Amino acid sequence: MNMIEKIFENNKNWVAEKLSVDPDYFTNLSKGQHPEFLYIGCSDSRVTAEEMMGLHPGEVFIHRNIANMVNSVDLSAAAVINYAVVHLKVNHIIVCGHYHCGGVKAAMKPADLGILNPWLRNIRDVYRLHKEELNKIEDEDARYNRLIELNVQEQCINLIKTAAVQQAWKERGIRVHGWVFDVHSGRIIDLKIDFRKILESIMEIYKLD
Ligand code: CO
C-alpha cells in the first residue's frame, strides 16, 4: 500500500469509528457549521489546529499560512476573517505562532528568497518595529523566540485594525487571543492580548467602526 492509499484506508477507518459512536454523526455535520473560534496559524506540519486544542469538526474555522500572518492586502486571509466574523459570528479569534518557525527564522536573515521576499517583509517589518527590544537580546535563540511572540502580537493588532473585528467588538465583545505553540513541550502559551488596550492605543487613526 502506498502513502496515498494508506490515507484512504485511514479515512475509511475514521468514518467507521465515528459512525460506531454516533450513526448520525455525518448527517448532523452536513447540516451546517456554527464554530465559536477562528484560528489563524502557521502552515508548519508540526502545528495542528483541532488536534492540539482538543476540538472536533465543526468547532473551529481555520486559516493557515507561512508564519501566521494577517496582512491587509492578502485577499485570502481578509475573506476568511470577514466570513468568520460577519457571517459565522465567531466569538474568539486566535492567532497562533510557534517556536522553531521557519518563516520567522528566514525573515531574520538578510537574503533574497524570491517569491518569499514580499511575504517575509511583513515579518521583517515586525523586527524593525521592535528593533530596540530585540537587539538587546544577546542570545540568538532567545531573540528568535521573542520575534515569534512579537509577530503574533502584531498580527493580533492587524486583526484589531479591521472594521469587521472592531464592529464585532462593539456588538458582542469578540475576543482576540495571541498564542504560541511550544513545539518542544506541546504546550500552548497565552500571550494575553489586551484588546481594549490595543484598540485604545491605535484608535486615533485606525478606528473604523
Ligand atoms: Co511556522
Give distance in angstroms: CA of 95 to centre of ligand 1: 12
Give distance in angstroms: CA of 97 to centre of ligand 1: 7
Superfamily of domain covering 34-203 = Carbonic anhydrase (3.40.1050.10)
| C-alpha of 97 from chain center | 7
163-172 and 140-160 helices, crossing angle to 10°: 70
Each domain of the chain, given as residue ranges in start order, spans 1-31, 34-203
Q: Are strands 60-65 and 37-42 parallel, antiparallel or unpaired?
A: parallel
CA-CA-CA-CA torsion for 72, 160, 135, 186, nearest 10 degrees? -100
- Selecting among 63, 96, 101, 156, the annotated active-site residue is 101
Q: Is the dihedral of CA 159, 161, 166, 169 positive or negative?
A: positive
Q: How far apart are CA 192 and CA 186, in angstroms?
A: 18
Contact, 186 vs 98, CB < 8 A? no
Q: Which residues pair with 62 in a beta bridge?
A: 39
Give distance in angstroms: CA of 13 to centre of ligand 1: 30
- Selecting among 44, 63, 156, 177, the annotated active-site residue is 44
175 is catalytic: no
- Selecting among 22, 34, 46, 128, the annotated active-site residue is 46
Profile the chain (209 residues) by mean pLDDT over runs of 10 residues. 96 98 97 97 96 96 97 95 98 98 93 91 96 96 97 96 94 97 97 90 80
- Selecting among 24, 34, 96, 98, the annotated active-site residue is 98
Q: What is the pLDDT of residues 70-107, one digit of tens each?
A: 998 999 999 999 999 999 999 999 999 999 999 999 99
Give distance in angstroms: CA of 119 to centre of ligand 1: 13
Give distance in angstroms: CA of 3 to centre of ligand 1: 25
42 is catalytic: yes
φ and ψ of 92, to 5 deg: -135, 135
Q: How far apart are CA 25 and CA 30, in angstroms?
A: 9
Max alpha carbon distance in the chain (Å)?
A: 60
pLDDT at 202: 84
Q: What angle do CA 34, 163, 158 make, to 5 degrees?
A: 90
Q: Are strands 37-42 and 92-98 parallel, antiparallel or unpaired?
A: parallel
Give distance in angstroms: CA of 96 to centre of ligand 1: 10
Contact, 70 vs 80, CB < 8 A? no
pLDDT at 208: 78
87 is catalytic: no
Q: Which residue has the cell 491587509?
A: 72
Which of 138, 108, 132 has its CA nearest to residue 120?
108
